[in-house]
Structure 1
Amino acid sequence: MYISIDKELKSVIPDFKIGQIIYKNIEVIPSPQMIKGRLQLFQESTYFDLENANVNDIPSIKEWRQIFKATGKDPNRYRHSAEALFRRVKKQNYLQPINSSIDLNNFFSLQFGVPIGIYDCANLSGNLNIRIGKDEEQYTGLNGRINSIEHLIISEDNSGPFGSPFVDSNRAPVTFETKNAVQIVYLQPSTSIETANKMVESLMNMFIQVHGGEGEFQIIN
């Protein structure tokens, strides 16, 4: 499964880059105590860090807000998923365990301060493309609503858009039945390739430690 970045997106955000991880033969399980404990402790620590701080001033959050502006989406109305997580933590509306995959995804999204999506390959077809959403494009999101994805950065396969740093569609979520998955890390454009490799590899290694199977990653820019 190959991921490409659309030329229009690269012209708007020249340094745009993502991390792609392909997992095979994994086993998604109820989150072990190690993940639940780390996620809870990290949220509590982040809450104290944010007590006298503005979420918008976090460098990674600010950079992704600027990306939304650059593609034509109001970041005050459409908050990227990492910002949404930080705002939940600031309100002490802490994340509750869902499954090992989603919980690890949320943990690393908070740690890196960037949106991360993970998808069941069984519900995707062909190669993937990252582009800017077209006028009037929409899909049903994991939030249960019809979401406008025009002017957002979106991920698509042969069947159309399925994911976004804003909210993913309900077409390919990872469940307890998932065996093969693809993870997309929406890196800060300012992140160096060397740092990006270390970040994405650390995520992959932790994921495989919990879920078994095997993984392969690359940085695409």
Structure 2
Amino acid sequence: MKNLQQYLATASVAADVFSLRPDYRALLIAVNGITPGPSDDQSEQMLQEAEASARDKLSKQAVTELPHIAAWREAYKSFGAKPNKTRNSLEALTRRVEKGLPRVNRLTDIYNAICVKHQIPLGGEDLDKYSGPPQLIRATGKEHFEATAAGEKVVEHPPVGEVVWCDDAGVTCRAWNYRQGPRTALTDQTTSALFILDALESCTNDNLNAAGDELLDALKRFCPDLEVACRLVSNTEP
């Protein structure tokens, strides 16, 4: 089992990512001791609250005009992605609110609800499946991303310059927060997880920390022995 605080200390964001977006911050939350379980009353209530919050926002602004979604669309353009085709995870989930957010399992439902409610891209990864520390880099074109297409495993190579999360074994998430890979995906057996909350200028550190606090409060309700470590990575971090 990893020492969570020491592990997060090894996480990194490359200088050329900060050059692209100096306002970028990542709140990393690592946890041990998750009790796996199916969707339940708690996760359902959180999803319904998130759906109501998003519907209220969407009654006043188009999805592409919501401040943090708009900021992420600009960030995607900066490394050559087309935001109408490659949608950040926050926008993709917010667009699903009209028909209802997906119900997957308790853990996934909780972090999806917080993503939509707080309007912050939030990814969850199985920490036990990581090889080395999380690293946010700009791709060289040689990195491997294990994906699934038509039921078959395939290997993709993100284009040069794409911003990707990776570990020592390859890419774990394409286009910053667009598409997570199956290798490190959360499952019904996950007991140790890494959560990545991504923020740009329109999202304050207070907003970021409030989302992280709500995530941990929700997890602690059904994981009494939860072990937690947090780190805010930014351009101004010592």
Calculate the TM-score normalised by the size of structure 1. Answer: 0.88
Determine the structure 2 residue equivalent to 1:156: 166
Map 1:97-176 to 2 at 5 A: 97-135=103-141, 139-141=145-147, 149-150=158-159, 151-164=161-174, 165-176=177-188
Q: Is the 8 A contact 1:124 1:157 kept in 2?
A: yes
3-state secondary structure, aligned to 1:68: helix
Cα pair distance change 1:116/1:143, threshold 3 Å: farther
Which of the numbers 4, 22, 47 marks the counterpart of 2:12?
Answer: 4
Q: Is the 8 A contact 2:53 2:117 kept in 1?
A: no
1:196 is aligned to 2:208: yes
Q: Is the 8 A contact 2:146 2:171 kept in 1?
A: no
Give, as a single letter, the amino acid of the residue that structure 2 aligns with 1:187: A
C-alpha displacement at 1:121, in angstroms?
A: 1.3
Q: Is the 8 A contact 1:6 1:130 kept in 2?
A: yes
1:208 is aligned to 2:220: yes
Q: Is the 8 A contact 2:114 2:211 kept in 1?
A: no
1:30 is aligned to 2:38: yes
| Cα distance in structure 1, aligned partners of 2:50 and 2:206 | 25
Determine the structure 2 residue equivalent to 1:21: 29
3-state secondary structure, aligned to 2:113: helix
| Cα distance in structure 2, aligned partners of 1:65 and 1:56 | 8
| Cα distance in structure 2, aligned partners of 1:35 and 1:124 | 26
C-alpha displacement at 1:53, in angstroms?
A: 3.0
Which of the numbers 71, 75, 84 marks the counterpart of 1:67?
Answer: 75
Give, as a single letter, the amino acid of the residue that structure 1 aligns with 2:223: H
| Cα distance in structure 1, aligned partners of 2:24 and 2:217 | 24
Give the CA RMSD over aligned residues: 2.3
C-alpha displacement at 1:154, in angstroms?
A: 1.5
Identity %: 23
| Cα distance in structure 2, aligned partners of 1:29 and 1:141 | 25
| Cα distance in structure 2, aligned partners of 1:199 and 1:45 | 14
3-state secondary structure, aligned to 1:189: coil
| Cα distance in structure 2, aligned partners of 1:113 and 1:56 | 12
Cα pair distance change 1:45/1:73, threshold 3 Å: same
Q: Is the 8 A contact 2:26 2:197 kept in 1?
A: yes
| Cα distance in structure 2, aligned partners of 1:152 and 1:206 | 33
> Which whole-Å deviations, capped at 9, do the CAs of 1:6-47 have from their partners, x for residues lacking one?
111011111211000010111121122121123124314523
Q: Is the 8 A contact 1:21 1:183 kept in 2?
A: yes
Calculate the TM-score normalised by the size of structure 2. Answer: 0.82
